[in-house]
């Protein structure tokens, strides 16, 4: 296979290019990076010896293609050829192709086994489609006033001028159109493909690989758009988009639920709100009206929160632009790490759908029209990183602010949120949240998702904003956190002073400032009634889930840290069915030690107040690599079929022993159960239990207190289902991971957009695996749980009751609804439903059955 070498002045840039290429090719292509020089104070540069070493590293007899960025990179590459033996140098080709596009094109073609000449030609022609498109384009639309890298601009291109390729025309099915999160899903779906994909709405054409550009098209639900793709895998790329559209681009297909706040377009008219007001006296006494953003009533003292996104106080010009680009990239990387943690915390507190906001923000960080434009300003105008970033974000935010559609205008807050995060990291100025001395009504011009994720619902009892609406991300998170909110009050809110008494009704959008005593008493009385109803709902969540015919189904929580345990308990969790310990190991430079792990396990168990806690041992690999573990998951052609789960732990005995010792010690303080992931056969279970015994022996020898651990396994591999009767002899319980089981049963990588639809846990083949696992477990007298996402799906719960699952474990926010569904089930009726589902041909048919169809 042809090898590829990237020569770049920046080691950070080189690593990023490597990650891009390996994502496109799953690491199949020999690829080496010669980036930067060994000078800590001045790391930017190129080194001929590094280039020579990189060429030797990837040379496999089929030749090496070398791509370079600029300046001395070419001289270093030429010098490296002089240093190599002639027989090696003769098989090396230096390419004038553009670095990023050329690398992507070359890597994809090289992965097919093409020869050096073909790979070099493919790299050289990488910009052909882009040049053709831009050469025929009409003047760019003024949608983004900041500078952009080539190919990132909007254009108004007649159909006849578009390059030939594949085409997909569809009607956008989701109610809110291609807003930010569907845009993020489109970009993610296209990730595995090399094709150049454009999105067309009327006369405007934008890159379908840019969250920002898609969002600025402001495509509404019901509109017709066209995706056009050019490239070898264009048809596959469009097939992935077609599958995504069939799933409503990830949005719920139904109309807003009864409890969902209306969008501004659906908000009550003035006359309707007059009827819903507390009294006629209130209507005559200074009521302000905004958008009903999150239901509930509250009264409290106003506190203003004004997060800063001001022009940075730094020298505008940069002495060394390359260093400034490196600083910007480092800040972008740190921002991604912060967003990963925010996403994890939001999944635990509010649910996976709400957490998608932060995944979208990560894509904004990587958007060529944002980060690329900032880098270009730094290099072209020699601006400091802070100044360039501030100007690009300000221009982008202004673009959203000027859009006619209210929903798209609300995306300005997301842009500012992302911009402020990176600017804070660049300047080193610590984030300052709202300072609350007690329960308060928070007033703000607008709130971004990051602001919302850090709020304490016990202190923030209400939210009122000048801008935004019921569909803003702040409103979505306010509803998930149960905080009453009114948005879009306009300039009138600016007249409210710090400490004024504010009453609000988040269900009608009404706000009263310093209300008369009678008005305040009426609002407080309605608030008391609302809180009583909410407490009753939580009390119901705390009660056991028992079917109508008297069968108990235990409902537990999936958590990622000890901090998540308390929130799970509030949602009514009867214990923890899955503690994902891998979160302790991610986003750091070294593994957690025994004491750190011990503290995390004890804290989580203590928070559950004696309820059962199942801890899954380290489950990394596949889509969860750990960079600091040298050699781990490097070059695996099929990482989901490689060294992951228990396989990895058995290979890394010292790392595994540290975790087992911490778990045994934690069990001496609070009862725990341990669960091994990815077990495929009895030999792996026996090996893991032997190491657990060895860890116990070392603690005995040291006189360290420890407790007993019930040992169970995850059922994720078809082989484990086939051998479930044997595994049940040595396991105290089974827990089915439906996410992985589905992808292995269907031979469909759930991270590959072109086949992800096949990886569906509702497929009858997967359901039959669940049935067989339950039967084997019950025959051996052990309980069987589900801890995959299927367990928290309200539609699927009757099916799982019919399959006789003993426990369902899910994200905390899904627990109250799951218990309600279980209480409405009859075991016999559900068993008939399960039999019918397993007789159907595919997941779509099962879904129709669960939705009441035939």
What is the set of active-site residues? 473, 787
- Rounded CA-CA distance 394/381 in Å is 17
Alpha carbon distance 619, 740 (integer Å)? 12
Contact of 292 with 506, CB cutoff 8 Å: yes
Contact 756, 711 (CB under 8 A): no
Distance CA 366, CA 347 (A): 22
CB 681 within 8 A of CB 720: yes
Annotate 644-711 with DSSP letters as a single string. -THHHHHH-HHHHHHHHHHHHHHHTTS-EEEEESS--SHHHHHHHHHHHHHHHHHHHHHT-----EEE
H helix or E strand, kind and range, residue 713: strand 709-715
Q: In 3D, which of 225, 162, 230 has the Cα closest to residue 195? A: 230
Residue matched to tokens 């609002």: 523
Instruction: Write the DSSP symbol of residue 588.
Output: S
* Sequence-distant (≥ 6) Cβ neighbours of residue 704 within 8 angstroms: 661, 665
- Dihedral of CA atoms 265, 206, 186, 232 in degrees, nearest 10, equals 160
Tell me which residue has tokens 């895998």. Answer: 233
Torsion of CA 435, 437, 442, 445, to 10 degrees: -30
Give the integer Cα–Cα distance in Å for 375 and 381: 10
Question: What is the C-alpha to C-alpha distance for residues 290 and 280, in angstroms, rounded to an integer?
Answer: 19
How far apart are alpha carbons 98 and 69 in whole angstroms? 8
| Dihedral sign from CA coordinates of 777, 783, 789, 792 | positive
DSSP per position, 48-79: HHHHHHHHHHH--SS-EEEEE-STHHHHHHHH
Query: What is the rounded CA–CA span in Å between residue 205 and residue 151?
Result: 11
- The token pair that represents 575 in the structure block: 């214990």
Helices (H) and strands (E) counted in the chain, each on its own, are 34, 24
| Helix or strand run (H / E) with residue 343 | helix 321-350
The residue behind tokens 């009514």 is 572
Beta bridge partners of 289: 510
Contacts of residue 427, Cβ cutoff 8 Å, sequence gap at least 6 = 312, 314, 386
Q: Cα-atom radius of gyration of the chain, to the nearest Å?
A: 29
Query: Please, what's the largest Cα pairwise distance for the chain?
Result: 94
Task: For residue 591, give both structure tokens.
Answer: 């593994």
Q: Can you tell me the distance from the alpha carbon of 363 to that of 335, in angstroms, rounded to the nearest whole number?
A: 11
Residue indicated by tokens 């020869």: 115
Exposed e or buried b per residue across 115-138, where buried means at least 16 C-beta atoms within 10 angstroms of its C-beta: ebeebbbbbbebbebbeebeeebe
Tokens coding 289: 């009206």
- Residue 152, both tokens: 């990132």
3-state secondary structure 401-458: HCCCCHHHHCHHHHHHHHHHHHHHHHHCCCCCCCCCCCCEEEEECCCCHHHHHCCCCC
Rounded Cα gap, residues 349 and 726, in angstroms: 38
- Tokens 């804070």 label which residue? 424
Residue 275: how many other CB atoms lie within 10 Å: 9
Q: What are phi and psi of 110, to 5 degrees?
A: -60, -35
């Amino acid at each position: 296979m042809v090898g590829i070498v990237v020569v770049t002045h920046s080691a950070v840039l080189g690593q990023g290019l490597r990650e891009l290429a390996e994502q496109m090719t799953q690491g199949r292509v020999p690829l080496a990076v010669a980036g930067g020089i060994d000078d800590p104070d001045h790391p930017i540069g190129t080194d001929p010896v590094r280039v020579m070493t990189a060429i030797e590293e990837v040379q496999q007899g089929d030749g090496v293609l070398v791509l370079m960025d600029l300046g001395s990179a070419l001289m270093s590459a030429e010098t490296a050829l002089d240093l190599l033996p002639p027989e090696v140098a003769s098989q090396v080709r230096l390419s004038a192709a553009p670095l990023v596009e050329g690398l992507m094109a070359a890597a994809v073609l090289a992965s097919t086994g093409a020869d050096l000449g073909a790979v070099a030609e493919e790299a050289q022609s990488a910009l052909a489609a882009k040049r053709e498109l831009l050469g025929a384009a009409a003047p760019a639309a003024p949608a983004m006033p900041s500078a952009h890298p080539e190919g990132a601009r909007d254009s108004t291109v007649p159909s006849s001028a578009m390059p030939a390729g594949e085409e997909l025309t569809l009607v956008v099915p989701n109610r809110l159109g291609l807003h930010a999160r569907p845009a993020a899903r489109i970009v993610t779906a296209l990730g595995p493909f090399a094709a150049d994909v454009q999105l067309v709405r009327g006369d405007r054409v934008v890159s379908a690989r840019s969250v920002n550009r898609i969002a600025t098209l402001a495509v509404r639900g019901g509109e017709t758009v066209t995706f056009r793709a050019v490239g070898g895998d264009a048809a596959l790329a469009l097939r992935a988009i077609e599958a995504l559209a069939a799933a409503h681009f990830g949005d719920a297909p139904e109309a807003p639920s009864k409890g969902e706040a209306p969008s501004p377009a659906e908000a009550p008219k003035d006359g309707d709100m007059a009827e819903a007001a507390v009294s006629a006296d209130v209507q005559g006494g200074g009521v302000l009206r905004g958008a009903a953003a999150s239901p509930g009533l509250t009264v409290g003292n106003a506190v203003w929160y004004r997060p800063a996104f001001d022009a940075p106080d730094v020298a505008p010009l940069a002495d060394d632009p390359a260093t400034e680009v490196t600083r910007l990239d480092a800040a972008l990387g740190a921002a991604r790490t912060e967003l990963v943690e925010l996403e994890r915390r939001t999944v635990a507190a509010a649910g996976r759908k709400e957490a998608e906001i932060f995944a979208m923000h990560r894509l904004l960080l990587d958007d060529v029209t944002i980060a690329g434009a900032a880098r270009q300003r730094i290099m072209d105008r020699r601006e400091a990183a802070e100044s360039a970033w501030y100007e690009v974000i300000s221009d982008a935010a202004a673009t959203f602010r000027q859009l006619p559609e209210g929903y798209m205008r609300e995306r300005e807050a997301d842009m500012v949120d992302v911009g402020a995060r990176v600017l804070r990291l660049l300047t080193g100025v610590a984030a300052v949240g709202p300072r609350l001395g007690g329960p308060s009504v928070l007033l703000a011009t607008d709130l971004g998702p990051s602001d919302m994720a850090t709020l304490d619902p016990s202190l923030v009892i209400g939210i009122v904003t000048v801008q935004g609406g019921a569909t803003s991300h702040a409103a979505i998170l306010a509803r998930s956190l149960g905080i009453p909110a009114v948005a879009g009050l306009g300039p009138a809110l600016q007249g409210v002073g710090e400490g004024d008494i504010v009453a609000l009704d988040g269900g009608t959008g009404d706000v009263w400032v310093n209300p008369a005593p009678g008005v305040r008493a009426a609002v407080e009385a309605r608030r008391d009634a609302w809180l009583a109803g909410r407490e009753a709902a939580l009390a119901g969540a705390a009660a056991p889930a028992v079917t109508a015919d008297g069968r108990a189904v235990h409902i537990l929580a999936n958590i990622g840290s000890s901090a998540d345990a308390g929130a799970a308990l509030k949602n009514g969790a009867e214990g923890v069915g899955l503690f994902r310990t891998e979160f302790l190991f991610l986003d750091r430079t070294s593994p957690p030690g025994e004491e750190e792990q011990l503290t995390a396990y004890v804290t989580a168990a203590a928070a559950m107040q004696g309820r059962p806690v199942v801890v899954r041992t380290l489950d990394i690999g596949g889509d969860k690599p750990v960079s600091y573990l040298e050699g781990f998951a490097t070059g695996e052609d099929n990482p989901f079929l490689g060294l992951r789960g228990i396989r990895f732990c058995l290979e890394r005995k010292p790392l595994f022993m540290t975790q087992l010792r911490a778990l045994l010690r934690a069990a001496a303080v609070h009862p725990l159960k341990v669960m091994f992931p990815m077990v495929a056969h009895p030999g792996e279970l026996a090996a893991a239990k032997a190491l657990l015994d060895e860890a116990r022996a070392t603690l005995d020898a040291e006189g360290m207190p420890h407790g007993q651990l019930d040992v169970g396994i995850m059922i994720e591999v078809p082989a484990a289902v086939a051998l479930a009767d044997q595994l049940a002899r040595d396991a105290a319980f089974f827990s089915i991971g439906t996410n992985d089981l589905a992808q292995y049963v269907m031979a469909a990588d759930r991270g590959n957009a072109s086949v992800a639809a096949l990886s569906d846990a509702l497929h009858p083949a997967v359901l039959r695996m669940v049935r067989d696992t339950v039967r084997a477990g019950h025959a051996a007298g052990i309980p069987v749980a589900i801890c995959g996402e299927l367990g928290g799906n309200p539609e699927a719960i009757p099916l799982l009751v019919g399959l006789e699952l003993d426990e369902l474990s899910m994200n905390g926010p899904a627990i109250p609804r799951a218990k309600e569904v279980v209480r409405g089930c009859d075991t016999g009726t559900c068993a008939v439903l399960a039999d019918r589902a397993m007789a159907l041909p595919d997941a779509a048919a099962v879904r129709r059955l669960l939705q009441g169809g035939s």
